[in-house]
Structures are given as C-alpha cells and as structure tokens.
Amino acid sequence: MKIAFLKPPVGGILGLEMLTFVEPLGPICVAACLEAEGHTCAVFDLRIDGEERGMADCRTFNPDVVGLQCNFTTERNRTIRLAQRIRREMPRAFIVIGGHDASRDPDWFRNPAIDAIAAGDGEEVLPPLVDALARGKDLTAIKGIEVPRNGAWVYTGAADARPNLDSYPMPARHLIARYADHYYINFRKPLALMETARGCPFKCNFCSVWKFHESTFREKSPERVVKELEQIAAPNVFITDDIFWMNVRRGEEMAKQIKASGIRKYFTVQTRTDIICKFPHLIEQWKDCGDLAIFLGLESVTDEGLKAVNKKNTADNNVRAIQILKDLGVGFTPNFIVDPAWDRDDFARLRDWIDQTGAYNSGFSILTPLPGTDLWDHAKKQVTTHEWEMYDIVHTVLPTKLPLDEFYAEYSALWRHALDVRYRYKGKVKTYLQLGAALATRKVTLSAVRKGMNIAKVFSKPETFLRAHEH
C-alpha cells in the first residue's frame, strides 16, 4: 500500500509556529513501522511546499491511505479543511487522522472527510489498520480507532502502549531529507527533533501529555539514543521528552555514551526545576555533549499558584534552579502561566520576580483549557469561544477579571518587561553583538533573527492579542 502523510499549511492568528518550526517526528515514526512491513510511504510538508505544490506532489504519488497529524488544538480547522480537499481531489484515498489533539478529543474529528480517527501511539494503530485495508478486513477489529458504521461512529477500544520503545524502527528520516534544512528553533537552524522518552508521571491540570500516555513513562535505552543521534545530520537537536532526566541514571548514562561517541550537538531539552535542584551534575555532564539550552515550565512564582495547576513543585525550587543554571552558564527559557483571573498585583508580582532573578528569556502562556485536559473538564462551560485558532496559549478563551483591554495591556507589558530586563542584564549592545557574531558564523539566519525581533515587538503591543476578540 502507498501511504502519504501530510502536514497542513501554516495558519494561526499570529503564525506562532513560524517561531519554532519543527519536523513531523510523529508521522516519520509511524511511517518507519509501515515501511518495515513493506509499504511505501511519503511525507508532504505543506508548510514548506505550499498547499498547491504539496497537493500536486501528493496526487502524483497517488496514495491509498492519507495520514494527517493534528497535535495542536489550533490546527483543527486547517486539518479538516485539508482532509476535505484531499477527499475531493483524491477520492480513492482512505483518510486517517491521528496525533495528540485528535487522540485527546476524537469525537470532534467525526467529519465526513475523515474515514478513521486514530488515538494514541500511531505505531500501534496504523500498521494493523493499513493491513486490514489491504486485505479488505473489518476495521472494527483494529484497536485504537473510531470509524463510521451504519450512521454512527464506533470506538474500537484502546490500542496497547508498547513499554519497550527500543523495539520500534528508527524514524524514517529519509522521507523528510529534502526538507531538513528548513526546520529551526528560535534562531538555530537546521534543527532535528528527537524523542528519547514518552509520557510523564505528573498530573498538571492544564496538560494533556500524561492523559495521552495514561500516566506511563517509557524510555529508549542510551544505546538506542546514540544510534538515533548518529542518524541526525543537523547540528541542533530538540528533544521532545516532556521531562528530560526523569530517570537520573539514564540521564547520566546517555551523557556518558554520547560523549564517548564523539557526537556534539546543540541540545534543547525540557525539564522540571526540582530535577535541576536535586541533580545539578546532570547539567554539567550534558554540557560536555555540546551545547545545552533548557525549557522550564515554571508556571508560577508562588506555591499557591503551583498548587492551583497541580504542578507538585515549589516556588523555591524555581528560584534555585534559575540560579543553578546561571552559575553553570546554561541557556534557559522559563515559561509562566498567566491566569485570566489575575489582577494587576499578580502581574506586578511576576514582573518583580523577573527583575530579581534576571530571568529575561521568560515566556508567558495564558491559562487555557485545552480539550482532553482536567482543566477542560472543569472549565469547558466557561470558555468564551470555540474558535480553535484562539487556543494558542497567547489569547484568553476564559473570561478575564480585569477588563479585556487592561488584561492584555498587562500581558503585553510582561513581554516588554522581559525584553527590558534582558537589555539591563546583558546590555542592548552586547545582545546585538552576540546576534551579529552568530549571523557571521552562520549559526543563525538573518530571516530567523528578523522574525524573532518582530515577534518581540509584536508581543509588546496589546492590540496584537485584542484583535482576535473583535471577530
């Protein structure tokens, strides 16, 4: 069988996905399993090709099955629109949709343009589904899907989550080799994505990762991680694990083996501040594997704020972790959650914290009930819109305590403040000199720098966010 995976073209209110633009790792993991069973796969990234060229190439490929990935709630409408176009132009193709958002809220995707909705790890669902299609077998015997039957949608029950991730084939990177130079993170290009573990044992109420993985945490061995790295040409690697170093021993062993292999990359990882406080030696070990930057979901500067989102961490850990990273000279991007119920004092408290800690790279997400989270169950009746593009975490979809324009005035002031603190700590001239040096050594591209600068400017204005509420 011939299976095509398509990524819909860029959409979004602010085009946030263009700030960090990553390869479709999920689809190439699933494609690897299909290829191992003798099928032929192709990936068309319409964000790069553009819709017309990507669709034309896909029509030429003439797929039997089309797989669409919907990870973000914001991608819903554009993914359905693409499915409808595929249905019109490739009526023979069986269209299946999977990915994070589709798995957590499959019912929303019940649409005449969709033949099956897949939930969970695609590696477990798509190969048996394609096999059943090839043999003309009944699809309701395949686990992990919703399919239409006699005018209703039938759910076939959860597919197993395989505990041993090493037994999956290597991601089918050859299918996206022609796009490899296009992916980047912030200013760093080209960028590859790599997964060393899946899931998270915590249960934050705004997050769907633990729900998707049913509170499991599954890992690849250090040996497998090194093998995957050997397959990656890009100098920059974003590790998709939600809690990197969850298993400290494995974290140490991976660093040891990567160092021994001679592979050096600029790694970007995501982890928790309690792990950094308890095991700072991990950071030192990983620094030896090249360069390291860390995304930190700090969420709140108070214990009450952390408790409200069920983070199971402390405000003290947040402060200490920032200091540890500063002392070790490791780049970090803290992220905070701004509650629509905030008053002016709450915004002021966060600004003061950034002043004191010098955490100038901070980002600010607005508390958003995403479908498939505990927060959604709790707040779905209060949401002010079902315009899914607004679920991008920089627009509020809940009523605000402050008048909306004042809320956004405070929100955009946070972004402006972070930039001011950056200039205060690093100096405007030094910031520009560093960028200049990175440009000269081709570590970053001019267009990426322009984009980043533009976003900083755009986020500093309340109108940027208010505009979407006018429709």
Residues in contact with ligand SF4 by the rule CB under 6 A: 200, 202-204, 207, 209-210, 242-243, 272, 297
Binding residues for ligand B12 restricted to 198-237, rule: CB under 6 A: 207-209
In the bound state with ligand B12, the residue whose beta carbon lies nearer, of 211 and 259, is: 211
Angle at 445 between CA 442 and CA 447, to 5 degrees: 165
In the bound state with ligand B12, the residue whose beta carbon lies nearer, of 318 and 373, is: 373
**Cβ–Cβ under 8 Å, residues 412 and 464:** yes
Cis amide leading into 190 (omega within 30) = yes
Alpha-carbon distance 283 to 267, whole Å?
11
* Binding-site partner at residue 202 among ligand B12, ligand SF4, none, CB < 5 to 8 Å by type: ligand SF4
* Binding-site partner at residue 146 among ligand SF4, ligand B12, none, CB < 5 to 8 Å by type: none
In the bound state with ligand SF4, the residue whose beta carbon lies nearer, of 54 and 120, is: 120
CB of 264 to ligand B12, least distance (A): 22
In the bound state with ligand B12, the residue whose beta carbon lies nearer, of 29 and 319, is: 29
Judged by CB under 6 A, which of 43, 48, 51, 72 binds ligand B12?
72
Q: Is 269 in the site for ligand B12 (CB under 6 A)?
A: no
**Cβ–Cβ under 8 Å, residues 383 and 450:** no
> Is residue 284 helix, strand or coil?
helix
CB of 22 to ligand B12, least distance (A): 4
Alpha-carbon distance 112 to 151, whole Å?
11
Alpha-carbon distance 459 to 354, whole Å?
17
Full DSSP string of 205-217: TT--HHHHTTT-E
Residue listed under structure tokens 């044992």: 201
CB of 325 to ligand SF4, least distance (A): 18
Alpha-carbon distance 70 to 96, whole Å?
11
Binding residues for ligand B12 restricted to 375-434, rule: CB under 6 A: 392-393
> Is residue 71 helix, strand or coil?
coil
CB of 470 to ligand B12, least distance (A): 21
> Is residue 444 helix, strand or coil?
coil
Binding site residues, ligand B12, CB under 6 A = 16-17, 20, 22, 25-27, 29-30, 67-69, 71-74, 96, 98-101, 118, 121-123, 125-126, 193, 195, 207-209, 240, 242, 365, 370, 392-393
